[in-house]
Amino acid sequence: MAVIVQLSPLQVLEYLAELVVNGPSHPGAVGPPPATLVPSTPRSPGGPVPGGWRDVLVKEGPEGWARAVRAHKGVLVTDTTMCDLVGQC
* Residue ranges per structural domain of the chain: 51-89
pLDDT digits (tens, 9 = 90+) for 13-72: 988 888 888 777 776 667 777 678 888 888 878 888 788 999 999 999 999 999 999 999
First to last CA, the chain: 37
CA count, 13 A, side-chain hemisphere, 39: 3
State the pLDDT at residue 37.
Answer: 84
Rounded to two decimals, what is the model's pTM?
A: 0.41
